[in-house]
Amino acid sequence: MDGAGFTPSLLTTPSSFQGRRVAERKLCAAQEKGQAAGPTMKDASSSKPAKGFGAKLKAASRFKFTGDLRPGRLSDPRRVPEHIARPKYARSGVPRDRRPRVPWEIEEKDAETIEKMRVAGRLAREVLDAAGRMVMPGVTTDEIDEVVHREAVARRCYPSPLNYNKFPKSCCTSVNEVVCHGIPDDTVLVSGDIINVDVTVYHNGVHGDCSETFLVGEVDERGRELVRVTHDALFAGIGVCGPGVEVKEIGCAIDRVVRGTGFSIVRNFVGHGIGSVFHTTPNVLHYKNNEPAGVLRPGMTFTIEPMINEGTHKNVTWPDDWTAATLDGKRSAQFEHTLLIVEDGVEILTKRLDDSPKLFWEQ
């Protein structure tokens, strides 16, 4: 889950094609439930809103969305058993950790914390893999969230996004034009979609954070290329990491992969430091830059999580104050790992496992 805010921009009206996709989702949802295809929360004004979100859904009914997706109905909040250790913000919803004074003030973890980070990273990967196995046509993003929540709790983990700055769910599910921070709801996945699932877990006092973009059924060639380029961009950024490397070099490496593809790099969301604090320094810009974000040293842990768009790099914010979508309604993809700088390079703490779902080009 990235660590930057964003600013709403002007929106455009969905195309007729996008309108047909809304109708297709309604029909798919109705078929799944064995019902007639009637109004759903895809049209925010047509159904009773989830408790607590009435005002935002009313605003959504007047909002000019840039793509075919609409806010769906939220299920009731999921509960975390009392025996699961919680981050400080879990009950209040407000993170109150001390902010570093300057961008280049970056914590170097001790050996004990590093071992905890390795465990949390492995657990986050296991939960993300469970979510990935759920991705198929006819599944709702809320059902994916349910699996993430259940699998996190089964591993004695708190799902870090839950109530972080009041985020209402246990993971982020970002479909098609949604860049990041998509809120799981009753949105039904259909063949041709792409979906990023972003999982973070809190275990034994530290967080582990990772995400992948998955294909839903049959995806067109340009969509598959977008996902592959985004994956390769992440690993280009990882590839330059090591002791003595300036943080800004990560963005420069990602830029070299994306440049010339016709895709664009999102600029107002960043990778971030992570440990006992969910989001901290360094701020990892994913595009070519000259920002003084610090120098990598052994013991530093952080995420790299480039978001690559099919069209413009600009985004807008939905009325829920979380969901970021592309300004032009075109698709976005993202991959993310939590990393540790070691004496001879970099270690991927959320690396894929032997039984992780295969990437489409591996099948």
Q: Name the residue ranges covered by the structural domains of the chain.
A: 106-355
Listing DSSP states for 54-103 in one string gives: HHHHHHHTT---SSS----PPPPPPP--TTS---TTTTTS---PPPPSST
* pTM, rounded to two decimals: 0.87
Q: Are 208 and 200 in contact (CB under 8 A)?
A: yes
Q: What mean pLDDT, rounded, does the chain reach? A: 89
Lowest mean pLDDT among 14-23, 94-103, 320-329: 14-23
Whether residue 77 has pLDDT greater than 50 = yes
As given in the structure block, the two tokens for residue 34 are 């064995």
> For position 10, what pLDDT does the model report?
26
Nearest CA to 73 among 47, 55, 39, 37? 47
Rounded-to-integer distance, Cα 115 and Cα 72, Å: 40
Whether residue 53 has pLDDT greater than 80 = no
Quick check: helix, strand or coil at residue 295? strand
Rounded-to-integer distance, Cα 61 and Cα 47, Å: 11
Provide CATH code, domain 106-355: 3.90.230.10
Q: What is the CA radius of gyration of the chain?
A: 19
Whether residue 146 has pLDDT greater than 50 = yes
Rounded-to-integer distance, Cα 153 and Cα 60, Å: 33
Q: In this predicted model, what pLDDT tens digit does every residue of 262-294 receive, in sequence order?
A: 999 999 999 999 999 999 999 999 999 999 999
Lowest mean pLDDT among 44-58, 274-288, 340-354: 44-58
Rounded-to-integer distance, Cα 31 and Cα 265, Å: 37
Q: In this predicted model, what pLDDT tens digit does every residue of 304-313 receive, in sequence order?
A: 999 999 999 9
> For position 27, what pLDDT does the model report?
58
Please report which confidence band the pLDDT of residue 1 belongs to, taking 50, 70 and 90 as the band edges.
Answer: confident
Within 8 A by CB and 6+ apart from 25, the residues are 40, 42, 68, 187, 188, 190
Q: In this predicted model, what pLDDT tens digit does every residue of 204-243 receive, in sequence order?
A: 999 999 999 999 999 999 999 999 999 999 999 999 999 9
Please report which confidence band the pLDDT of residue 324 belongs to, taking 50, 70 and 90 as the band edges.
Answer: very high
Distance (Å) of CA 49 to CA 42, 54, 58, 162, 258: 11, 5, 9, 20, 40
Whether residue 17 has pLDDT greater than 50 = no
Distance (Å) of CA 349 to CA 26, 155, 176: 39, 17, 27
For residue 217, count other CB atoms closer than 10 A to its CB. 13
Go through the chain and tell me how many residues it has. 363
> For position 58, what pLDDT does the model report?
61
Lowest mean pLDDT among 90-99, 289-298, 342-351: 90-99
What average pLDDT score do residues 76-91 get?
A: 97
